[in-house]
């Protein structure tokens, strides 16, 4: 398992103008995958799709989307008590569930709501198109950043069921501990920036406004973008 990342000990300034800038910089570190017919870039919506779009465009490889949803803890929605992914995969953070006293009933209610939202987005983003064929391919999973990496882990677990040849996780910024943990689960992790004091993904972007469903749809349906 390989990790490629750069650590900046001191800076707390934004490293990227926006997700477009981040994707362009990330693509430079992935140049070894350029023009390869066995490579597929998958963006995690919503924020990962603009980054993935720039990566796929620069590498001249197909782009598609891979649906994941965080299961936010009750009253602390930014805290992941789990995650779900396309293909029926659900991972639970049992430490968080135990610490917050989250009941099975609460977990079922939250997961049901998020499965419904995942299905809605799947229909909106993908329409009638089939899921991307990943068997035997090198899949580059892209997000705009990783804090705990729980949603990325759900995507990895779901992808592994489909038999890809290699899985590469590629992100502009992440917590160093998360990079190390994910390196044990995939073939390669490419991360441009791992600040010692991470805080949150959005801190490292000048413009981190929310990505809309309409923007995701537009990027995925740009001519030539999705050709998996």
157-196 per-position pLDDT tens digit: 999 999 999 999 999 999 999 999 999 999 999 999 999 8
CA 86 from centroid of its chain's CA atoms: 13
Please check whether residue 128 is in contact with residue 46, taking contact to mean a CB–CB distance below 8 angstroms.
no
Q: Evaluate whether 112 touches 187 at the Cβ level (below 8 Å).
A: no
Domains and CATH numbers, the chain: 2-67+132-220 (3.40.50.2020), 71-124 (no CATH)
Residues in CB range of 107: below 8 A, 6 or more apart: 71, 81, 82, 92, 97
Helix pair angle (213-220, 104-126), 10° resolution: 40
Residue 91 to residue 168: CA distance in whole angstroms: 20
pLDDT of residue 224: 53
Q: Give the pLDDT score at 37.
A: 95
3-state secondary structure of 154: helix
d(CA 67, CA 45): 6
Which residues of the chain fall below pLDDT 50? 5, 7-10, 228
Q: Is 144 within 8 Å of 47 (Cβ atoms)?
A: yes
Peptide bond into 199 cis (omega under 30): no
């Amino acid at each position: 398992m390989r990790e490629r990342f750069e650590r900046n000990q001191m800076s707390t300034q934004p490293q990227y103008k926006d997700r477009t800038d981040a994707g362009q910089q990330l693509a430079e570190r992935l140049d070894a995958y350029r023009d390869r017919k066995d490579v597929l870039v998958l963006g995690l919506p919503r924020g990962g799709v603009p980054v993935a779009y720039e990566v796929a465009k620069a590498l001249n490889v197909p782009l598609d989307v891979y649906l994941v949803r965080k299961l936010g803890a009750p009253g602390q929605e930014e805290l992941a008590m789990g995650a779900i992914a396309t293909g029926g995969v659900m991972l639970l953070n049992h430490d968080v569930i135990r610490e917050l006293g989250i009941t099975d009933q609460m977990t079922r209610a939250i997961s049901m709501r998020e499965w419904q939202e995942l299905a809605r987005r799947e229909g909106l983003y993908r329409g009638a198109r089939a899921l991307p064929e990943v068997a035997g391919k090198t899949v580059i999973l892209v997000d705009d950043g990783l804090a705990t990496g729980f949603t990325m882990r759900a995507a990895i677990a779901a992808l592994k069921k489909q038999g890809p040849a290699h899985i590469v996780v590629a992100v502009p910024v992440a917590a160093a501990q998360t990079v190390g943990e994910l390196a044990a689960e995939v073939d390669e992790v490419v991360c441009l920036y791992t600040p010692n004091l991470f805080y949150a993904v959005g801190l490292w972007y000048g413009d981190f406004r929310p990505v809309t469903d309409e923007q995701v749809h537009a990027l995925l349906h740009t001519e030539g973008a999705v050709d998996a």
